Amino acid sequence: MRIELSVLIGTVAASLTTLSFVPQAVQTFRTRDVRGISLWAYAMFCVGVALWVLYGIYLASLPVILANVVTLALALAILGMRVRFALRGRPPAAPSDALF
């Protein structure tokens, strides 16, 4: 079975970018420290990754779909903690970060 170079490159790239979120997610789960996480940046990122999932579905590209589903799950978990802890009244890192 011969794997096309483009599929191999896409799979490696998708794996690396997806796995890069694991340390952030683990650290956030362990420490519950979300002060350095921008609410709006993560919200926009989640929307962008959801669109990548749709794009992968449109192309029927399993590496694009799987990598972005995993990335979206990790990013949504971090975003959820950011929102939950902000609602509990934990102060953000800086006063100017109250909405962002």
CB 98 within 8 A of CB 57: no
Q: What was the pLDDT predicted at 99?
A: 47
CB 15 within 8 Å of CB 62: no
What was the pLDDT predicted at 8?
85
In this structure, which topology does domain 32-88 adopt according to CATH?
Answer: Monooxygenase (1.20.1280)
Q: Which of 86, 68, 78, 79 is nearest to 25 (CA)?
A: 78
Per-residue pLDDT of 43-96, as tens digits, reads 999 999 999 999 999 999 888 898 899 999 999 999 998 888 777 765 545 444
Q: Whole-structure pTM over 0.75, yes or no?
A: no
The answer to whether 55 touches 69, Cβ cutoff 8 Å, is no
Domain boundaries, the chain: 32-88
Question: Which tokens sit at 22?
Answer: 């694991």
Per-residue pLDDT at 1:
64
